[in-house]
Amino acid sequence: MNKRKEDLIYVGIDLHKDSHTAVILDCWNTKLGEITFANTPAEFPKLIRKVSKFCTENKEPVYGLENAYGYGRGLAVWLIAKGLMVKDVNTSLAHRQAKCRAMYKKSDSDDAEAIALATINMLDSLPDACPNDAYWSLSQMVNRRDNIMTQRIRLKNQLHEQLCIAYPSYKQFFEDIRRKTALFFWEHYPSEKYLRGKTPESLADEMKDVGHNSFSVRRCKVILDAVKRDHTKAKEYQNYRDVITKGLVKDLQHYDEQLKAVDKELEQLYHDLGCTLATMPGLNITTAVKIMSEIGDVNRFPNPAKLAQFAGIAPINLSSAGKGKDKASKQGNRRLQATLYFLAIQMIQVSTKGKPRNPIFRDYYDRKLAEGKNAKLVLVSIARRLVNIIYGMLKNKTEYRLPCLETGEVSE
């Protein structure tokens, strides 16, 4: 950016579903104006007219939007189409600015001012808002998948709650109570009274189709013997709880189908975008699309360092009087930061046969630990190097190539 900070007017916008609030500041943090307008394109010109009153002496506005890919996406697209400068301000950065202010009160106006301050103070490091339709759709699909996973966990916990009363030894029946065969069983036998008169052979015959002949008579005998040992007595109102169990099974089956459909679409979108991240060992398509959804169009970052700054992947040195130590950053995109840290852990894993998933990163990890480095900081360092690799793969659409261990260096 060639413009001096004095030549710009800073507009911080707090985004909501129905309306947005914008606060206008100059480079000296002086509040010039404020406006609240509806979240509809017909209202967006009001913001331009308000801001233009302060763009005297050839000053230009720069708009800081807190998450330009959510409720503010429509506004971001509209502003960019007008040729205006739009920055994506991470929520944690705006929150940090708000906490630093004395007598801070939570309101839309205060939040918008904090976003404007973050835009002023971190103008050169903030990424340009780039609400590309493909990456926005990808982000929506990833969010949909996360919501489905959350619902499945919630329903599974509720099913555990019902089963532990109906079948005290239910954990001996199946390795995972959410498998297809398990759900079929809970749906047809929500409590032990439905098993009365059943023999291992008759139960196995009933389960053979859903279990693809893998549900043996021996397995059925284990279940029936466990039920017999429990000596479960008929409980009052159990029939009402059976209805709950059957309903939970139906819900889990529904979300399993939804998850399968979303995963299929995500894989298709992954290939449509020409992504190659899944060629890296330890990184599947699910993790790849999660990374892509947080980064968006990688071209909005001029270099890997800017992407690392956006992700908050870089140890920070805290020192005084020449003494101090490195600590992991708590800034940046926390979801992307967590995913990259998890990926770093995947890189150093060793199989049961003693073969490391990524020999280069494993060698680097072992050497740094031998030097007395903190394990978490070494993983952050590996995540930082992964940022360089991911940036290059997304930028050039190249596949991952494992470097030679003889170099003794982690790939950059």
Say if pTM beats, i.e. exceeds, 0.85.
no
Give the Cβ contact number of residue 335 at 10 Å: 15
- What is the strand order of the sheet 8-15 is part of? 31-38, 19-25, 8-15, 60-66, 85-89
Distance CA 400, CA 347 (A): 13
Distance CA 156, CA 171 (A): 13
165 alpha-carbon distance from chain centroid: 35
CB 222 within 8 A of CB 172: yes
pLDDT for the residue numbered 125: 81
Structure tokens at 382: 């590996």
Query: Do strands 60-66 and 85-89 pair parallel, antiparallel, or not at all (unpaired)?
Result: parallel
pLDDT for the residue numbered 408: 47
CB 207 within 8 A of CB 184: yes
Question: What is the radius of gyration, based on Cα positions, of the chain?
Answer: 28
Distance CA 375, CA 166 (A): 45
Instruction: List per-residue pLDDT tens for the chain, 412 residues long.
Output: 567 888 999 999 999 999 999 999 999 999 999 999 999 999 999 999 999 999 988 899 999 998 787 888 899 999 999 999 999 888 777 777 766 665 456 788 989 999 999 999 888 888 888 777 888 899 999 999 999 999 999 999 999 999 999 999 999 998 899 999 999 999 999 999 999 889 999 999 888 878 776 778 898 999 999 999 988 777 788 999 999 999 999 999 999 999 999 999 999 999 999 999 999 988 999 999 999 999 988 988 889 998 998 898 876 666 666 666 666 566 778 899 999 999 999 999 998 888 889 999 999 999 999 999 999 989 999 999 999 999 999 999 999 988 766 544 554 4
Distance CA 166, CA 189 (A): 10
pLDDT for the residue numbered 4: 83
Helix (H, G, I), strand (E, B) or coil at 65: strand
Half-sphere exposure for 393 (CA within 13 Å, toward CB): 23
CB 357 within 8 A of CB 348: yes
pLDDT for the residue numbered 321: 63
Half-sphere exposure for 344 (CA within 13 Å, toward CB): 24
Question: CA-CA-CA-CA torsion for 37, 39, 45, 50, nearest 10 degrees?
Answer: 30
Distances (CA, A) of 182 to 159, 178, 228, 394: 11, 6, 19, 41
Domains of the chain from N-terminus onward: 5-131 (3.30.420.10), 138-267 (1.10.287.4070), 277-407 (no CATH)
Residue 170: enclosing H or E segment and its boundaries? none
Structure tokens at 29: 């943090």
In DSSP terms, 14 is beta-bridged to 21
pLDDT for the residue numbered 175: 87
Helix (H, G, I), strand (E, B) or coil at 18: coil
Structure tokens at 400: 């991952």
pLDDT for the residue numbered 106: 76
Q: Minimal CA–CA distance to 245: which of 170, 172, 144, 175? A: 170
Distance CA 389, CA 282 (A): 14
Residue 246: enclosing H or E segment and its boundaries? helix 238-272
Measured in degrees and rounded to the nearest 5, phi and psi for residue 275 equal -80, 150
Q: Minimal CA–CA distance to 310: which of 319, 320, 297, 327? A: 297
Structure tokens at 40: 């509809």
Structure tokens at 18: 């129905």
Distance CA 280, CA 302 (A): 23
pLDDT for the residue numbered 406: 58
Distance CA 202, CA 217 (A): 9
CB 39 within 8 A of CB 74: yes
Residue 323: enclosing H or E segment and its boundaries? strand 323-327
pLDDT for the residue numbered 411: 44
CB 252 within 8 A of CB 156: yes
Distance CA 123, CA 98 (A): 17
Distance CA 287, CA 381 (A): 20
Q: Which amino acid is at 142?
A: V
